[in-house]
Amino acid sequence: MKYVSIKQFGGPEVLELADRETPAAGPAQVLIKVEAAGVNRPDMMQRQGKYPPPAGASDIPGLEIAGVVTQVGENVESPHIGDMVCALVTGGGYAEYAVAEAALCLPVPAGLSAVEAAAIPETYFTVWSNVFDRAKLKPGESFLVHGGSSGIGTTAIQLARAFGAKVFATAGNAEKCAACRELGADLAINYKQDDFVSACKAATDNNGVDVILDMVAGDYINRNIELAAEDGRIVLIAGLHGYNAEINFLPVILKRLSITGSGLRMRSVSFKADLAVKLKQYVWPLIESGKVKPVIQQTLPLQQAAEAHRIMEASQHIGKLVLTI
């Protein structure tokens, strides 16, 4: 099969198309003929040598795919050969064939193409796990996502809005802010021009925000603490500004804040399978009814994976980039 190789750690140019044997499904796995694969920031980190795959995972980048099941393991009851599925994988997505755990495969939502379905798993699993399971966002609460125009951001805005939250987002220019509002954000703040703490406080009668989803960290950590409402929850999932900060914990104590963080790739199959069940129950109906949707900026053929990484690193995209096979 053709796949995208990381010939050495470095810039996008280290990605190149290569050949290797097609993998085989294990007892609880399926083999998928990949039609499309989502591109995510962890893929770039892996390419740079900053995010190695977990033990036992494929060394091929790519964390989400959609395509047709061509082989099933001996212990697999569902899905079946010939089924169209999308799947969360720990690696291997940038290829003509990829192995996925059967428990992490979901049917392609009715009405969606393989390209659209491939843009779902990584961001939807991540947002559900952090916003609804860890932070327990409730209807009527306020929610802020940093990087609102990213794949995570566009997903978080839509889901938070669909489940009855008041939604705020930060983004880097007027076009991205407009996209956030179109997706359901009540307020979108251009962080290059305005202070998101002041803007969100003004929008909440100075009460602050109940749940903050942060992939920036660094200097944002103290600002998130300042902005958080009483009993607020702050969830860190990445560190675009770094992972170090000097923190005054007095506001954390006085406001009874919870600060947590998580990563998805290294979690167990059973943990992620529980997320898959919840997504199918609570989110798939929203997708199939058109209330939420994957937002795709651009598709590129597999052999242009390096260009997809260049586009993502330039941060000019809104939503997801998807590779087609």
Using a 10 angstrom Cβ sphere, with 0-12 exposed, 13-18 middle and 19 or more buried, the burial of residue 282 is: middle
Whole-number pLDDT of residue 244: 94
Q: Are strands 29-39 and 64-72 parallel, antiparallel or unpaired?
A: antiparallel
Report the alpha-carbon distance of residue 161 to residue 143 in Å, rounded: 9
Q: What is the pLDDT of residue 210?
A: 98
Question: Does residue 284 carry a pLDDT above 90?
Answer: yes
**Average pLDDT over the chain, rounded to an integer:** 97
State pLDDT tens for residues 169-191: 999 999 999 999 999 999 999 99
Q: What is the CATH number of domain 124-261?
A: 3.40.50.720
Dist CA 308 CA 9 (whole Å): 17
- Give the pLDDT band (50/70/90) at residue 316: confident
In the chain, % of residues over pLDDT 70 = 100
Mean pLDDT of 147-157: 97
Q: What is the mean pLDDT of residues 60-75?
A: 98
Task: Look up the CATH architecture of domain 2-120+265-324.
Answer: Alpha-Beta Complex (3.90)
Q: Provide the 10 A C-beta neighbour count for residue 22.
A: 15
Query: Given this model, what pLDDT does residue 175 score?
Result: 97
**Quick one: average pLDDT of 109-133?**
98
In this prediction, residue 114 carries a pLDDT of 98
In the chain, residues under CATH classification 3.90.180.10 are 2-120+265-324
**CATH 3.40.50.720 domain range(s) in the chain:** 124-261
| Backbone φ, ψ for residue 145 (5° rounding) | -120, 130
Global confidence as pTM: 0.96
Look-up of token digits 């937002």 = 295
Q: pLDDT tens digit string along 204-233? A: 999 999 999 999 999 999 999 999 999 999
